[in-house]
Amino acid sequence: MSAPQLSPSGFDLTPPTAEERKRLEASLTAEEADVLLHHGTEAPFCGGLLDQKDAGVYCCRLCGLPLFEHRTKFESGTGWPSFWAPVDEAHVKAVRDVSYGMVRIETTCARCGSHQGHVFPDGPPPTRLRYCINSVSLEFVPYGAPLPDRLGRGEGLATASAASATNSSAMAPSGRG
């Protein structure tokens, strides 16, 4: 077995095996599967995380990888949760999307490849980016709670913490990186 592919913040980015992926996909609701697996979009102003204001981390609903933090969330007026930066740039992958006669940049989870939303160059400082993300693509974890460890890689030992706001390694799994 090859060594895990670790992100700068210490999370294992090795994609799930076919067996792990099948198990993860079986846990999804029909709406989650449509968005995460088939690049769907939830209706605007309907997502459960749109008005979430608590301190914490937003993780990939499929594999549990931390993607965004509450401190980078902002009200964009678009109807979807919006963020100006990911927790770790290595956790979100940009993919050119030419569907529907438009050219956009799709954002996917760097570990499992699930569809999260799109990124646009009209966000606030300091990045000027707007990661427009579907609520059903995310799982909110309040600070102090264990992060999801759906792949059994020891990442459940990590907890979302306010220290990660200034030091991404503070959220890194115990004993890694």
Q: Kindly list the catalytic residues.
A: 132
Provide the 10 A C-beta neighbour count for residue 75: 10
Side-chain-side CA neighbours of residue 88 (13 Å): 24
Residue type, 9: S
DSSP 104: E
Query: CA angle, 116 as apex, 132 and 35 as ends, to 5°?
Result: 115
Query: CA angle, 109 as apex, 1 and 73 as ends, to 5°?
Result: 140
For residue 146, the SS3 value is strand
For residue 144, the SS3 value is coil
